[in-house]
Structure 1
């Protein structure tokens, strides 16, 4: 082979390889540069970028909501008593004649006679109405039927011996509004919805306690003597007023409506801050100043009270417009503090407190109910309610437990008390509100359409 020719071939090949390498590097650099070129206003529609929402954004379908509620139902049906047993033999009692001092409810995770369960009974009835699913109403009716069946026996026994043990002693001998109001309201709702059980003696007993035996201030405002004498608890609006309102509807007696409206007025005069649209949790008569801790769940009980009262209060009642205006003012105040996640904080106006589920669920229910009844502007408030439901739904775990709920809470006058209250999936306060919220959101979706318009959730206006 000619050596010179061989050398030229080698040089040509090396040159070709070098040129290919340069081309490869150049092309690769160009691709990489293009891949990592930051998007700007001329290269991409930035307004259409997908935000990194911490909770789902948009509208969940009624089917999705029902699926969430079904998980809650399954958990509660499994974990709450539905029958009586003899604590000595651990056998079910099916004959009322076999009731005794050793009769108890079967073991469950929640107390069937607590005010929280009064809310749950009402929530189950609401879901049944919104979805047509009978099992929810059956949950409530089955348990209230037990109350009805055994009340005569234990009423007689307790009259003879006040220390006689009874699984419904708290209901037969109430010692606080917590023992009476929410259960009473649920019983009246069940009765009005067609439950054929002898609940009237229990209802009358509850109302007698609320109207005549609960401690009140001289002007008739429902009050307690704890933690200080002559103390108003915002919670007591809910523990008293809805039962009075339902009794007014059941009997037609205006005195119950009058008392309910009086409570709203007198609590609001003392405890509602018209500047921020929030209620303080507690008011003590002897205090020269009244510290304002805007605890979320107590504000929830207040706003729920207002929608529950308006549901049955005759429009011609002289207090109707006052209650309506109070509801509108409170909702306007609440929505200013909704977190970007859709939740509200444990202390509403302190965003370094934790995000709390039960209050958020109650606000979801109350705002949705107010929209559905025409009390507030649906174009303004619907997106707020739907975002709140999306937040709440993230707290229903796969077992159907409601997470992020503050446990039972007394009254405090320092921030640490509220900041560090524990949360627990067995805090009963979360379950009824979630059921009520889901039911009302389903109703909202039945009568309205929504769309994503310019990336935001909007009420769809029909032409």
Structure 2
């Protein structure tokens, strides 16, 4: 690795009539990939040498981001069918009254009902908001309507055949926060965006599970009984709080906001490392010493939870100030661990763990949205978000698949568990975050103008 000259290129933020140059990176590698040196020769002053960045450096364009989003949409549109078929024969079932125990969802590359796909549905909605292209929202709305249309028929079938395995089990009888939270939040967002399908019964069923059926500690903190009794998973913040917050927005009932705030504060009291500005992945009631593994994607779920909550939490809610302070502390902590190529590591504070795509995309989205909402300073954090998006964009292949995403991961008590989790293009966790990140970065670009400045830091009037 080489250290950059103090006068290396800067990223400038144009805002409120002024141009401010903002430091974007500190190191680069010597491998030639996306930005080969141009114009360097023996007569080039050292401070004007062109760095050899391994990922795109500087401000992306709305057009380049849209190209990436289109590839992702095209792949998902073709690989997640909206059909019922008969098991074994693969005969298409179009008359829902004929649904029976042999009826299944037509297999695709991904499941339409997973928490990962709840994130993807939300990402598609945001992509339409950012680009104006209705195809993204249509993707979400068509699939949610399909789920709503077939649910009553599968519910009746389950009553008649309670022992039969249902392809809609997670909808009819959620067994975990993974079943309920992200899907519920995306359903409410779809309703709020104008979807006229009969989604409210699904929403009510999901929120009932979260509020009345999921295991809680004595103080009301949502918990699991695996891998140990009374375990907190950082992931569960996202699997519960955005749904609670969205339900508060949908109904106006303060109890949902109160519960959402309580979860974030009580998880953070137990799991947030104030010195590092990072969360540990798991906490177990009764353990006096906890091994702290700062898993990247779980920290992503945590910061995105705070952003999603602040998005709808009333300005006068007493929990708003503490949540905002936690967001700022977490963002500061994450900024300190971003790698020189824009990604974050699988274990954030262990640089020999691999660079991971889904977490990096979640951070790009969360930081950009926090800037766009005025919760974080754009001069301090916009370069972090742009560099993250540039890195993520290199992981969307020509087919529209997202590479470099860690597969589903439980909670571990040793580093090897996290270091050697596989990555795969069929790890569904990467797609929603990429859509969210690209869409929010587009919003960021619409509000600010960025450029590379080859001289030192300066402030000057924009022309």
TM exceeding 0.5? yes
- Counterpart Cα distance in 2 of 1:396 and 1:231: 35
Deviation of 1:454 after TM superposition, in Å, equals 2.6
- Counterpart Cα distance in 1 of 2:402 and 2:184: 24
More displaced stretch, 69-78 vs 449-458? 449-458
Deviation of 1:238 after TM superposition, in Å, equals 0.2
More displaced stretch, 227-236 vs 47-56? 47-56
Structure 2 CA distance for partners of 1:244 and 1:409, relative to 1, 3 Å: same
The residue that corresponds to 1:220 in the other structure is 220
Task: Establish whether residue 242 from structure 1 lines up as the match of residue 231 from structure 2.
Answer: no
Deviation of 1:44 after TM superposition, in Å, equals 3.0
Structure 2 CA distance for partners of 1:457 and 1:426, relative to 1, 3 Å: farther
The residue that corresponds to 1:75 in the other structure is 75
- Counterpart Cα distance in 1 of 2:325 and 2:387: 24
Structure 2 CA distance for partners of 1:150 and 1:95, relative to 1, 3 Å: same
- Counterpart Cα distance in 2 of 1:361 and 1:455: 30
Contact residue 121 and residue 140 of structure 2 kept, 8 A:
yes
The residue that corresponds to 1:121 in the other structure is 121
Contact residue 72 and residue 396 of structure 2 kept, 8 A:
yes
- Counterpart Cα distance in 2 of 1:446 and 1:340: 26
DSSP 3-state at the match of 1:379: helix
Contact residue 130 and residue 439 of structure 2 kept, 8 A:
yes
Contact residue 450 and residue 458 of structure 1 kept, 8 A:
no
The residue that corresponds to 1:175 in the other structure is 175
- Counterpart Cα distance in 2 of 1:313 and 1:281: 25
The residue that corresponds to 1:5 in the other structure is none
Q: CA RMSD in A?
A: 1.7
Which whole-Å deviations, capped at 9, do the CAs of 1:277-317 have from their partners, x for residues lacking one? 00000001121101110000000000000000000000101
- Counterpart Cα distance in 2 of 1:461 and 1:222: 51
Which whole-Å deviations, capped at 9, do the CAs of 1:185-218 have from their partners, x for residues lacking one? 0000001111111111110000000000000100
Structure 2 CA distance for partners of 1:218 and 1:77, relative to 1, 3 Å: same
Deviation of 1:330 after TM superposition, in Å, equals 0.4
Instruction: Output aligned runs, 1:79-98, within 5 Å.
Output: 79-98=79-98
- Counterpart Cα distance in 2 of 1:460 and 1:357: 36
Deviation of 1:116 after TM superposition, in Å, equals 0.4
Contact residue 102 and residue 165 of structure 1 kept, 8 A:
no
Indicate the structure (1 or 2) with the bigger Cα radius of gyration. Answer: 1
Contact residue 233 and residue 283 of structure 2 kept, 8 A:
yes
DSSP 3-state at the match of 2:239: helix
Deviation of 1:237 after TM superposition, in Å, equals 0.2
The residue that corresponds to 1:301 in the other structure is 301
The residue that corresponds to 1:267 in the other structure is 267
Instruction: Output aligned runs, 1:415-426, within 5 Å.
Output: 415-426=415-426
Stretches (4+) displaced over 4 A: 455-463
Structure 2 CA distance for partners of 1:404 and 1:457, relative to 1, 3 Å: farther
The residue that corresponds to 2:447 in the other structure is 447
The residue that corresponds to 2:252 in the other structure is 252
- Counterpart Cα distance in 1 of 2:458 and 2:370: 18
Figure out how many residues of one structure are paired with residues of the other and give that number.
424
Q: Which has the higher contact order (CA 8 A, sep 6+)?
A: 2
The residue that corresponds to 1:205 in the other structure is 205
The residue that corresponds to 2:407 in the other structure is 407
Deviation of 1:159 after TM superposition, in Å, equals 3.2
Task: Establish whether residue 346 from structure 1 lines up as the match of residue 346 from structure 2.
Answer: yes
Structure 2 CA distance for partners of 1:101 and 1:457, relative to 1, 3 Å: farther
Which whole-Å deviations, capped at 9, do the CAs of 1:248-289 have from their partners, x for residues lacking one? 000000000000000000000000001110000000112110
Structure 2 CA distance for partners of 1:162 and 1:207, relative to 1, 3 Å: same
The residue that corresponds to 1:292 in the other structure is 292
DSSP 3-state at the match of 2:91: coil
The residue that corresponds to 1:358 in the other structure is 358
Contact residue 101 and residue 157 of structure 2 kept, 8 A:
no
Any unmatched runs of 5+ in structure 1? 1-36
- Counterpart Cα distance in 1 of 2:334 and 2:420: 22
The residue that corresponds to 2:231 in the other structure is 231
Structure 2 CA distance for partners of 1:118 and 1:331, relative to 1, 3 Å: same
Deviation of 1:101 after TM superposition, in Å, equals 1.6
Structure 2 CA distance for partners of 1:107 and 1:352, relative to 1, 3 Å: same
Structure 2 CA distance for partners of 1:251 and 1:207, relative to 1, 3 Å: same
The residue that corresponds to 1:383 in the other structure is 383
Task: Establish whether residue 145 from structure 1 lines up as the match of residue 145 from structure 2.
Answer: yes
Q: TM-score, with normalisation over the residues of structure 1?
A: 0.89
More helix by share: 1
Which whole-Å deviations, capped at 9, do the CAs of 1:137-192 have from their partners, x for residues lacking one? 11111110111101112222323432234321111111000000000000000011
Contact residue 407 and residue 424 of structure 1 kept, 8 A:
yes
- Counterpart Cα distance in 2 of 1:460 and 1:416: 50
DSSP 3-state at the match of 1:232: strand
The residue that corresponds to 1:187 in the other structure is 187
Structure 2 CA distance for partners of 1:162 and 1:336, relative to 1, 3 Å: same
